[in-house]
Every structure is written in structure tokens, then in C-alpha cells.
Amino acid sequence: MMENKEELARIITAENGKPLKEAQGEIIYSASFLEWFAEEARRIYGDVIPASAKDRRVLVLKQPVGVAAIITPWNFPSAMITRKVGAALAAGCTVVVKPAEDTPLSALALGELANQAGIPAGVYNVVPCSRQQTAAVGEVLCTDPLVSKISFTGSTATGKILLKHAAGTVKRVSMELGGHAPFIVFDSANVDRAVAGALASKYRNSGQTCVCTNRFLVQKGIHDEFVEKFAKAIEKELHVGNGFDAKTTQGPLINEKAVEKVEKHIKDAVSQGASVVTGGKRHSLGKNFFEPTLLSNVTTKMLCTQEETFGPLAPVIRFETEAEAVAIANAANVGLAGYFYSQDPAQIWRVAERLEVGMVGVNEGIISSVECPFGGVKESGLGREGSKYGIDEYLEIKYVCFGGL
């Protein structure tokens, strides 16, 4: 992968439109999962348990779960594959990858590189399909008794359908589903750092990541300063354009349906009293391009604070107390990532522990890392990816009792 990183990055930008610099970063991140899990393969430790009888010895073995079906999204068409496949191969599982219908080429390119790298035929398999066939292919992967494990990254709604299918044969399941990430800025925060973190967290990949901030909660004492500085940063630092242009930071959204959802959220918010601080409409470059948008005077009754936008829309809610902010943040039925900025050590511990999410960024807007466990709570999924815990999703534990000694 590293030998072909430029070509792989260009495939990503051509497929989903993300800026080339972000695509290059994704390839390095993607390759790092293969390196990480290649190293973790050496550490699939079993166990020896002291037996209760003198003539017995008790062992615990870890063995591959079997064929793993890997169903991946379009927003990280390379990294979402290697984060799963790296762990599966290290555990000893063969895989069948069904990439998103919008981005099949990255998965096929990885198949070619797997072949060049010496991965045996039939170990890494790719099944691309059309949008029309996606549901049928997903059902086959989840119901076929030859498949032992399902790993899916995508929407909560689709995840629930796949879980129902997988239940028939009681498959092992990993789900990394939708998020609705809160980003809380307390009065004690360093506002400039919070703005920089907000910009990175919200507008990476034009707001099309599952850990993107979806709701900004800003305490009343610094609310106006934050909104003013955030708007200036958006207008100064973000550039909408062709992903292959060096100055571009914001590419197109994946399709027109995605743009329509952003428009729907803005229209709903404005009709209920929200103000457009900057942006607010499609960009002149084309129908799938949208201006980075900031809304103020937002309330929890608005659609944009109740469901994931998956686009370049930043709604800001003003709050008064820590308890109020945590209550708003935890009101969602999902809990993938959450972020907050504070310089009060006691508050940092309280809020980090009380946020109902699987991952917390404290004074940080970008938290993904190969060494750290990625996953959510509530309806954001099951299991963890990456880290020392990720390989366990592809292993079965077998207890062996050796008697008559």
C-alpha cells in the first residue's frame, strides 16, 4: 500500500470527492491498520488456568471465528476495509468484502495489492454490487451459514436490518453505526483552540464522517465570541472545490440525496428561528457542492440537533450549566464520539465520565488512531475496532480440559 499510496489516494478522490490531501492521509491511516494487526497476530495469547483437580490441566485457546463478511461505507473506502480485514487476517479468518456501491474501486485496488503482496487466492475476496442489489447481497452475506462473522460500518437503520438477518444463524457481529457527536465548549475553554478543534472535527471530508460533530453546545459566557471566531475561521480557511486542486479543503458531497438532507436541516432550523451566520446554500461549482454552513440560535427542537446531518452544517446551541449540556448531549439514542473543551480539571473528569459515548475528545477535535479502540455505545454499535481489542472480534475462545493425568 505504501509503495502505491499516491495512486490509491487518487482513486479515493476520484470515487468520493474528498480532497487529495485527506485521501493521502487516509491511505497512510489505512496501511497502518495492516501493520498494527500484523504485529498483533503475535500476541493472540491463550491461557493456562489452575485446575481444581490434581489429574487435570486446563487450557484456553483462541481460534479464528471463520469466514468474515465485511460491509463497508463510502466515506473512508480504504481505511474502513483495512481496519476490519487487518484484524480478520491476523486472526486467521478469510474475508468477503462488500464495498459501498459508490466506492468499489478502492476495495478492488486493495485486492490487486493483496495478490501482489502474496496473500493466497480466496483469502481476500471482493463482491461489488449495484445500489439496486445491495440489500439482496447484504442479506445473503448475513444469512449464509458458511459466514461466521459480520462486520459492518454504516447507518444505524441498515445495521438493525443486518442484525435481524444475522440472528437467524446466530453470527458474531460487529457494528460501527451512526453518530450524533456533541461538541461542548465550556466557559473555561481556550476559545481559539476550541475553534480550531471545531473546524477539524466538523468539516473533515465535508462533514461526512461518523465521528463528525453534529451539535455544538457553547456556554453562554463565551458563546458570542466562539460563534464570531468560528465564522471567521470557516470563511478564511475552508475552500470548496475539486478534490484534485491543492487548495481545496471541501470537496463535493457524495450525491444529491446528501445535499438535499443538508438543505432540509437548514430550512427546518431557519423556519424555527435559527440564523445563518455563514454559508447556507449550494455552491456555484455544482449540484453536489455545498457551502460550509454555521447556524446560531439553534434549539433542541430542530431536526439538525435530532438526527445526523452528514454534511457541512454546524448548528450552535447556547447553554447555561454543565448539567444542561450533558443532558442535551446524552439525549440522543446513539453514542459514538463526543468532544468538549474545558480547562477545569474536575469538570474534565466529570464530563468525560458522564458523556454516553464510546470515545471522548477532551480539548481535541480529531481522535481516531490505530492504537485506540474505535466504537460506540447505545445504538452506535457493538464491539471495537483497531487497538489491542480489535482482533478479539475475530477470535473464538475454546476451553480445553485435559484429564486422566
pLDDT in tens, 156-185: 999 999 999 999 999 999 999 999 999 999
pLDDT > 90 fraction of the chain, expressed in percent and rounded: 100
Mark whether 19 and 160 lie in a shared domain. Answer: yes
What is the CATH classification number for the domain harbouring 163?
Answer: 3.40.605.10
Output the pLDDT for position 214: 98
Q: Is 93 a catalytic residue?
A: no
Mark whether 339 and 396 lie in a shared domain. Answer: no
Is the residue at 275 inside a domain?
yes
Is the residue at 198 inside a domain?
yes
* pLDDT (mean) for 202-211: 97
What is the CATH classification number for the domain harbouring 298?
Answer: 3.40.309.10
Output the pLDDT for position 206: 97
Which of 93, 142, 210, 212 is catalytic? The answer is 210
Q: Which residues pair with 219 in a beta bridge?
A: 319
Our count of domains for the chain comes to 2
Is the residue at 30 inside a domain?
yes
Cell numbers representing residue 67 in the block: 469466514
Mean pLDDT (the chain, rounded): 98
Mark whether 153 and 48 lie in a shared domain. Answer: yes
Is the residue at 328 inside a domain?
yes
Residue 98: pLDDT band (50, 70, 90) is very high
Mark whether 141 and 192 lie in a shared domain. Answer: no
Q: Which residues pair with 377 in a beta bridge?
A: 335
How far is Cα 12 from Cα 127, in angstroms, rounded to an integer? 18
Output the pLDDT for position 248: 98
Is the residue at 370 inside a domain?
no
Is the residue at 369 inside a domain?
no
Contacts of 14 (CB under 8 A, 6+ apart): 105
**C-alpha distances out from residue 360 to 354, 374, 376, 391, Å:** 10, 11, 10, 22
Segments in 134-249 forming alpha helices (H): 134-143, 156-167, 191-203, 223-237
Mark whether 355 and 385 lie in a shared domain. Answer: no
CB 215 within 8 A of CB 315: yes
Residue 122: pLDDT band (50, 70, 90) is very high
pLDDT in tens, 12-46: 999 999 999 999 999 999 999 999 999 999 999 99
How far is Cα 299 from Cα 269, in angstroms, rounded to an integer? 8
Output the pLDDT for position 54: 96
47-49: strand order across its sheet? 47-49, 57-64, 395-402
- Dihedral angle sign, alpha carbons of residues 253, 256, 259, 265: negative
pLDDT in tens, 67-91: 999 999 999 999 999 999 999 999 9
Q: Which residues pair with 362 in a beta bridge?
A: 340
Mark whether 77 and 142 lie in a shared domain. Answer: yes
Mark whether 198 and 168 lie in a shared domain. Answer: no
Residue 265: pLDDT band (50, 70, 90) is very high
Mark whether 227 and 285 lie in a shared domain. Answer: yes
Output the pLDDT for position 303: 98
Print the domain residue range for 289: 181-362
* pLDDT (mean) for 256-277: 98
Mark whether 171 and 194 lie in a shared domain. Answer: no
Which of 26, 40, 176, 291 is catalytic? The answer is 176
Mark whether 171 and 206 lie in a shared domain. Answer: no
> What phi and psi values does residue 183 have, to the nearest 5 degrees?
-130, 105
How far is Cα 69 from Cα 398, in angstroms, rounded to an integer? 22
Q: Which residues pair with 400 in a beta bridge?
A: 59
Q: Both ends of the chain: CA-CA distance in Å? A: 51
Cell numbers representing residue 88 in the block: 480478520
Residue carrying the nine cell digits 475475530? 394
Residue 250: pLDDT band (50, 70, 90) is very high
Output the pLDDT for position 358: 98
Q: Is 235 a catalytic residue?
A: no
Mark whether 186 and 171 lie in a shared domain. Answer: no
Residue 235: pLDDT band (50, 70, 90) is very high
Is the residue at 371 inside a domain?
no
pLDDT in tens, 292-314: 999 999 999 999 999 999 999 99
